[in-house]
Chain A
Amino acid sequence: MIFSSLFFILAFLPVVIVCYYGQHLLFENRLRNLTLLVFSYLFYLFGAPEFILFLAGSTLFDYAMGRFMDRFERQKRLWLTLSVIVNLGLLAWFKYANFLVSQTGEYLIRMGLDLSGWEAVALPVGISFFTFQKLSYTIDVYRGRCRSIANIIDFSMYVALFPQLVAGPIVRFRDIHAQINARVESWDAFYTGAVRFCWGLCKKVILADTCGRFADLIFGLSPALLDTRTAWLGAIAYSLQIYLDFSAYSDMAIGLGMLFGFRFLENFNRPYSAISLTDFWKRWHISLSRWFRDYLYLPLGGNRQGAARTYLNLTLVFLLCGFWHGANWTFLAWGAYHGLFLVVERITGLRRVPDNRLRGFRRLLTLAVVVCGWVIFRCDDLVQAGHFFTAMFSLSANELPTSLVSLLDMKNGVLMLCASTALILPSGDMNAEPQLKDRRFLAATVGIVLFVVILPWCAAILASGYQNPFIYYRF
């Protein structure tokens, strides 16, 4: 099930809200985590029923590891190691086994292995996200940042909480530990959550999917039809799509969390307003960046062990970050590409240039680097990426493909222009919540527009059969 579906909006979500606040009235919130757990598993059943037992089993396993760490403190390291090996092992199996076989199959057959019975391994939806969440739990318990959780329902709810189950944000256990039992639901939070959810829905259904139509078309063109203009249009369209799509998901997840009293950390902060790659990674997929920083970069030594080691750590972290996205050379290349630019920024000292110096130029440069990175990320393989870069930088000009001309109608043009504002937003504080809090008229207007105009419009689009899954669902 995806958030941007009629079934979720008009059936699942209303039922969850009614049940959740029904138990609030009837049972004084004693069943709220159980309610959310039941609906979270139901949510997962609609997405990947064949892996529901896998989700439950792996949750149980990490719950046990956490408990063992508290109970058998001397063997804490053992339990952590077990947790890390099992979690990463399962992640590797589900996510990378097919890739490994496809890359090494020829050699394995030469070595005498019979691969004729090999069947592709199906990927459990959201495994990358809930595995990292569970790891954050066992590591935090191991480090003593928090105690293990005693109630299995609470822990299962933390792992499977439907707003962030399949595509994040990756909520670290220590960030949400307190909220599991002590969160407070309020009209303010509910309203803000509803606004945030509708805003995310609007971004996804109206803007991101429009950009996606351009990106899908252009990235599907044969190299002979690509010229500089078309290739740049495709690259920018995809850059907008992936940002609007993923940030829309995050908005909806955060909004849904607020409906039930949770406050998740922000996942995006106007990433295309960044003035350097370092700045970009503080604004893009913040929960993943933090996870890698806390659980990989810093344990590797961070920047405290000399420049060379820092560069090595950075490169390693970004290679893994790329590979986390999927088993394909393009993701690895994308991670390496970002790692390389981050190292270059450190070597050249660019990251220490004051923020206000050459700000516009640096924003443009950073944006260009990021857009080129998305080309690698989007292409099916590196050969296609090569063709795409050739078209982008060869200053060629062809007649626009007919399919693209027909797509360039008034509606798509207007919506693309609206989406493009994401490229020129100011880079300051993004948090609109305080402004809405202080300016009641504005808050009411925003609410009315979103609820009365945008929400029905989005529902109308969804009712027409458009159902485009979020890009990050596949990771």
Chain B
Amino acid sequence: MKKFLSLLFVILLTAPAALWLVGHMYGNSDNTLHQGFPPPEATLWLDRGYYQAVEGWFRESLPVGKHLKTLHNWLNYHLFSASSTASVRVGIHGWLYPMETTADYPEPPVARQAGYRLFLELHAVEKIISATGHRFLVIVVPGKPAIYPEYVGAGFSGAQSPFYKALLDANDRHPLSGFVGLDPILKKAKLSGIDVYHKRSRLWSCGAAAAAAEQILNFQELARPLSSDRSSIPCPPPDNDLYRLLLDEAPPEKAPLAGHTAGPHAVNGPVAVVYGDEYLDRLLPFLTSAFKSLAVIDSTQEPTFDRNVMAKKSDWVVLESGESGLERLHLNLEAIYAAASQPMQGVVKRDIALDGAKPVTPCALDITPDGLQIKIPGEGAFFSLPPLSGSTNRVFRMVKLTFPADHQGRITIKTLPEKTGLIESSPRQVAGNELAIAVQKNLSRETRHVIVPLPFDESVEIQINPSQHPGVFILEKAELLSFYGKNPPPAPSIPERSEMVGDIYSGMELQPIKPPAGDPVDEPARQASVHLTEALPELSLADIEEGRIFQRQGKSADIVVTGTYSGLPGTVESRVVDAGTDAVVVPWTVVDDAPENGLYTGILRHIPQGGWYRLHVRSSLTPWVVNKGSTRWGVGMLVACIGQSNMREWFFTGNAHQPSPLVMLHRNGKWFAPGIEGNGALALGNRLASMLKMPIGLLDYSVNGTGLTAKAEWGKGFWLDTGPDGIYRRFIDGVNTAGGSVEVVLWMQGEADAARGTVSREEYRSALERFVNDQIRSDIKNGSSRPRLPFLIIPLVKRPSGRDASCQWIRDAQMDALKTIDECHLAALSLDLENRGRQHLAPAAYSTLGIRTAQTIFYLLGKVHFHRGPAISTVTRLSDRVIDIAIRQQGGTDFTPWSEITGFEVLADPDRTPLSIASVSRKDGNTIRIELADDAPPDFILRYLYGAHPDTSNPVRDNTALRLPLEPFSQ
């Protein structure tokens, strides 16, 4: 017996790996999603990462691992009513809920504030759309816990999130005319026996969707489908998506939402554009009969509700969102307002007198011909506009603020006080006056304005911080937009502008504007009576962050000089000196000739590129007292590095380089000097610094495991997500902290999108185009001398094995993007470089990539004449067995190796059978000859560095110093 059991033990241990090996040897080798075995190399023997890669490879490759994982999850659910997945909550009787819908809400006031803010934005969108003659419909589908709270289980704080509840409460008081509340109808449907949500599903059922559709159509007085038709409406069966998620099974391929635009359609019905999420899958079939046509925009793919919605010609705009998706809903009011192409009806615009603006916290205001000049020491400095009338149920009001096109930084706007009681408050918040509704916006390069909806209140104060950076800013214009709907009342006579505050229709008592509190004319006598020696100015300098690099504009940069003073407000001068030698770089220059409120702020212009520098300031009244800055800073080039793990490895893998003293890193909003870690970053930084002789700042904002598209969301976020907590927003915040402008953006990403094989070539390309044009170039100022901010791509690396079709889609999409996106360039090719076992490269490969990328930047600066390696120009079949390949040199004149070249494949078309290659060798400096072992068919495909793990042990590289590789090819 013991012998038998001992053998059983051994068999149990050996069977999984043995079966897998047998299957691996004789079975299909299409392991697209798996990694190849990390190739052993002498240099890796003592590298811990290599052994971790081996363990990881085993864990991921072993087929039984997947089944064991499923078994574990199944046992947890069925035996213990527990979930192994953080995203699924197991309730009572096996009911499953998305965790995000049942999570605790630790900060209800914050959530309620955000909910109320969204409510105001929805009002704003509705008013803008209505003013253009269209109708706006908002459909919010209550989450599963709102309908079935009884099965959620212990520790559940409430059926509705504070966010959603705030929105509903606000809507009760000041209803949106197009808001369709579905809570009552779905609860009624539940009572009538309809399974609104299936026990194991995240999305609603067809019955619930039908009930909701009826409510929507009734509410909007639209044609309803005949009852006989209703029963024949095709509807997907109940989905066990949460159960599959719990078991960690792959989700089924999702049909595009656009497919639901299929009929039957009403011939005379309205045309609608629908922006929504997965709930539309079941809802749309019940709505099509009411509309002439429906254009659907998938909010999971396009996370921002903006001009794309308005661009489509429609009578109706429908916005649908699940309750849990509300917090991610991003309404771009500025883009919607700008896209409202038709003249808007029922809108009265009125300028807000900027001379009535007052400082709230230390800042200096001045009326100039360009508008209101604001000097601020940075974040936390606010000024206020004159009190304005708030919105009412009859008139909805917004403020439109216009800034110059070159405005830098994030604009923070607070509307206060909040007296509606909709936002619960704690004593701390009341004491801290934190009941304001605050919004933060980055100025769009296209619209130059921000729009802030005003709360429903008698009087509203607007406080504005124009940037988180110190500096001098201009508010060109502030307008009050009053939306009256179709019949605005006749305008009363307009008072004089200088006395005007608020809205002419509000009926508020008009008050003459008082001069700002800090106006020096207030107290001339006091200044005169002060003894001169006591009043001598004392300056303190708000020093620049150590190691900060200002992005050059041309060959110099302007910097903000700011600080505080006490005593007499004399003219403040500043100069820049070399940090090492104290040699004067920029002589004494007046930066603020009229400091006020104890604050001086000004711009020191034309500081030449270079570094490191220090800043000096002095007052003209005491020129012998020089206040010297202690930190070093410079003017140079900023390179933003984003992507996923391979980009991150640039900063953390290898220690082959000593950092140049001119290279700095910027991470998590801070500048710091690099260590010796990070071959890629240091190779790039060092090379740029040594050639350009100026400080180089590398902004490290890549995040492991992040996809570009929502389909590639692995829990780490995706780059198209513009939500406030997303990786993209963190990146933009980081760029803004570094000054808001960079010279190039470097992108190395795609592994996450390739991993599941669900992102097609065109999807990735179009997503990348949106990302570059609508996000990156809208949110980051172009610091280069190129017409648009250069976006440099390093295409996806080669994986060590597997039929990596999905990787190839991403690579192809990235190469396509080089042609379709303006100022998008190939930074470097990585396909010829070594992998370090899995999908990360060997340390030396990152050095090569850094040097190649530097070459590309030099090329863009016009300092070198090439940055790409040779490319195949023509393929000539000389005979049945001989093929000549002509290559076009770009920087070199010849190539290596001369024989035994690897990486070429010849496939018979159309079945793609590989043909045996006898030899691949150099014919001359521009020609490669392939000799086949057998005759080639008339149609064949020639590929280089393509398809399934091409052999790159002896790839073609040109004879330049950089040894640039022959580019991938397929024909």
Residue positions of A touching B, CB distance < 8 A: 1, 5-7, 9-11, 13-14, 17-18, 45-46, 48-50, 52-53, 187-188, 190-191, 194, 198, 402, 405-406, 409-411, 414, 440, 443-444, 447-448, 451-452, 455-457, 459-465
Q: How far is the CA of A405 from the CA of B66 in the complex (A)?
A: 30
In the complex, how many angstroms separate the beta carbon of A59 from the nearest chain B beta carbon?
17
Task: Answer yes or no: B73 CB below 8 A from chain A CBs.
Answer: yes
B777-804 at interface with A (beta carbon < 8 Å):
none
Nearest first, the 5 A-B pairs at minimum CB distance are A411-B80, A463-B68, A460-B72, A191-B2, A14-B14
Q: A49-B46, A460-B72 are in contact. Are A444 and B81 (CB under 8 A)?
A: no
Extra contacts besides A451-B5, A460-B68 (12): CB < 8 Å = A6-B59, A6-B65, A7-B54, A18-B14, A46-B55, A50-B48, A190-B6, A191-B5, A410-B80, A411-B81, A444-B1, A456-B68
Q: Tell whether, in the assembled complex, residue B3 and residue A410 are in contact, meaning their CB atoms are under 8 Å apart.
A: no
Give the number of residue pairs across the A-B interface with Cβ within 8 Å: 123
Q: A409 and B80: CB pair below 8 A? A: yes
Contact: B58 with A447, CB < 8 Å?
no
A406–B82 Cα distance when bound, in Å, is 11
A6 lies within 8 A of B80 (CB): no
Nearest residue (CB) in B for A448 is B5
Q: Which of B710-760 contact A (CB under 8 A)?
A: none
Judge if B406 is at the interface, Cβ distance under 8 Å.
no
Q: How many whole Å from A116's CB to the nearest CB in chain B?
A: 13
Chain B residue contacts of A402, Cβ below 8 A? 104, 155
Q: Is A14 in contact with B10, judged by CB distance below 8 angstroms?
A: yes
Instruction: Known A10-B62, A14-B14, A444-B1; judge A410-B48 contact (CB<8 A).
Output: no
Chain A nearest CB from B15 CB (Å) reads 9
Minimal Cβ-Cβ distance residue in A for B48: A49
State how many angstroms separate the Cβ of B731 from the closest Cβ of chain A. Answer: 28
- Residue of chain A at shortest CB distance from B68: A463
B914 at interface, CB cutoff 8 A: no
**Shortest distance between the CB of B872 and any CB in chain A (Å):** 42
Q: Closest chain A residue to B13 by CB distance?
A: A14
Q: What is the chain B residue whose CB lies nearest that of A49?
A: B46
Q: Chain B, interface size: which category?
A: 35 or more
B69: A residues at CB distance < 8 A: 460, 463-465
Residue of B nearest to A415 (CB): B80
**Given A9-B13, A11-B17, A405-B155: A411 touches B76 (CB 8 Å cut-off):** yes
Contacts of B1 in A (CB 8 A): 440, 443-444
**A7 x B80 contact (CB < 8 A):** no
> Would you list 5 pairs from A and B whose C-beta atoms are within 8 A, ordered by A residue?
A444-B1, A451-B8, A457-B75, A463-B64, A463-B69
B12 near A451: Cβ-Cβ < 8 Å? yes
Residues of B within 8 A of A452 (CB): 8, 12
Q: Is B439 an interface residue (CB 8 A)?
A: no
- Taken together as a complex, chains A and B put the C-alpha atoms of A6 and B18 apart, in Å, by 14
**B residues in contact with A49, CB < 8 Å:** 45-48, 50-51
Bound CA–CA A287/B343 (angstroms)? 88
Chain A proximity of B54: nearest CB distance (Å) = 8
A198 surroundings in chain B (CB, below 8 A): 9
Which residues of B in the span 1-44 have a Cβ within 8 Å of any Cβ on A?
A: 1-3, 5-6, 8-10, 12-14, 16-18
- Shortest A217–chain B CB gap in Å is 15
A48 near B155 (CB under 8 angstroms)? no
**Which chain B residues lie closer than 8 Å to A414 at the CB level?**
80
Measured CB to CB, the closest approach of chain B to A6, in angstroms, equals 6
Question: What is the chain B residue whose CB lies nearest that of A400?
Answer: B155
CB proximity of A419 to chain B, nearest CB, Å? 15
CA distance A17 to B2 in the complex (A): 17
CA distance A5 to B65 in the complex (A): 12
Find B81's partner among A13, A53, A410, A465 (CB 8 Å cutoff).
Answer: A410
CA distance A440 to B5 in the complex (A): 12
Q: Are A447's CB and B5's CB within 8 A?
A: yes
Whether A1 and B55, one on each chain, are in contact in the complex, defined by CB atoms closer than 8 angstroms, is yes
Most central of A1, A6, A48, A414 by chain B CB within 10 Å: A6
Nearest CB in chain B: distance from A256 CB, A: 12
Determine the chain B residues whose CB is within 8 A of the CB of A191 once the complex forms. Answer: 2-3, 5-6, 9
Bound form: Cα–Cα A444–B4 in Å: 10
Chain B residues in the interface with A (C-beta under 8 A): 1-3, 5-6, 8-10, 12-14, 16-18, 45-48, 50-51, 54-55, 58-59, 62, 64-66, 68-69, 71-73, 75-76, 79-82, 84, 104, 154-155
Give A316 Cβ to nearest chain B Cβ, in Å: 37
Tell me if A10 and B71 are in contact (CB < 8 A).
no
- Given contacts A49-B48, A190-B6, whether A460 and B58 have CB atoms under 8 Å apart is no
CA distance A463 to B48 in the complex (A): 21
**Is there an interface contact between A411 and B13, defined as CB atoms closer than 8 Å?**
no
CA–CA, A448 and B6, complex, Å:
10
Q: Which residues of A contact B6 (CB under 8 A)?
A: 187, 190-191, 194
Contact between B81 and A409, CB atoms less than 8 A apart: yes
Q: A187-B2, A194-B6 are in contact. Are A50 and B46 (CB under 8 A)?
A: yes
Residues of A within 8 A of B3 (CB): 187, 191
Q: Which residues of chain B are within 8 angstroms of A461 by Cβ–Cβ distance?
A: 72
Closest chain B residue to A192, Cβ basis: B2
Given known A50-B46, A448-B5, contact A455–B12 (CB-CB < 8 A): yes
Q: Is there an interface contact between A464 and B73, defined as CB atoms closer than 8 Å?
A: yes
Are A460 and B71 touching (Cβ within 8 A)? yes
Residues of A within 8 A of B73 (CB): 464
Cβ of A7: which chain B residues have Cβ within 8 Å of it? 54-55, 58-59
CA–CA, A13 to B84, complex, Å? 27
**Which residue from chain B places its CB closest to the CB of A190 in the assembled complex?**
B6
Q: In the assembled complex, which residues on chain A have CB atoms less than 8 Å from the CB atom of B54?
A: 7, 46
Which chain A residue lies CB-closest to B153?
A409
User: Residue of B at shortest CB range from A1?
Assistant: B55
A460 to B73, CA, bound (A): 9
A13 contacts across to B, CB distance below 8 A: 13
With a cutoff of 8 Å between Cβ atoms, the chain A residues found around residue B5 in the complex are 191, 194, 444, 447-448, 451
Contacts of A17 in B (CB 8 A): 10, 13-14
Q: Report yes or no: B55 in contact with A45, Cβ–Cβ below 8 A.
A: no
B80 (CB) vs chain A CBs: closest residue: A411
For A46, the chain B residues whose CB sits under 8 A away are 51, 54-55
Nearest A residue to B5 via CB reads: A447
CA A429 – CA B851 in complex, angstroms?
69
Q: Tell me the bound Cα distance from A459 to B69 in angstroms.
A: 9
- When distances are taken between beta carbons in the complex, the residues of chain A under 8 Å from B45 are 45, 49
- A451 engages B9 (CB within 8 Å): yes
Residues of B within 8 A of A444 (CB): 1, 5
Quick check: A48 and B48 within 8 Å, CB to CB?
Answer: yes
- Given contacts A48-B48, A187-B6, A409 and B59 within 8 Å (CB-CB): no
Whether A52 pairs with B46 at a CB distance below 8 angstroms is: yes
Q: Are B72 and A10 in contact (CB under 8 A)?
A: no
What's the Cα separation between A457 and B46 when bound, in Å? 34
Q: Please, which residues of chain B bring their CB within 8 A of the CB of A14?
A: 10, 13-14, 17-18
Nearest CB of A to B335, in Å: 39
Which residues of the other chain, B, contact A406 by a CB distance below 8 angstroms? 155
In angstroms, how far is the closest chain A Cβ from the Cβ of B51?
Answer: 5
Residues of A within 8 A of B81 (CB): 409-411
Contact of A45 among B2, B51, B82 (CB under 8 A): B51
Residues of B within 8 A of A463 (CB): 59, 64-66, 68-69, 72
Inter-chain contacts of A411 with B (CB < 8 A):
76, 79-82
| Chain B residues with CB under 8 A of A447 | 2, 5, 8-9
CA distance A429 to B542 in the complex (A): 74
> A187 vs B8: C-alpha distance in the bound complex, in angstroms?
12
Given contacts A13-B13, A451-B5, contact A5 B84 (CB under 8 A): no
User: A53: which B residues are within 8 A, CB to CB?
Assistant: 46
Residues of A within 8 A of B62 (CB): 6, 10
Residues of A contacting B75 in the complex (Cβ-Cβ under 8 angstroms): 457, 460
For the complex formed, measure the closest distance between the CB of A53 and the CB atoms of chain B, giving whole angstroms. Answer: 8
Determine the chain A residues whose CB is within 8 A of the CB of B104 once the complex forms: 402
Of all chain B residues, which has the CB nearest A461? B72
What are the residues of chain A within 8 A of B72 when measuring CB–CB? 457, 460-461, 463-464
B763 to chain A, nearest CB (A): 29
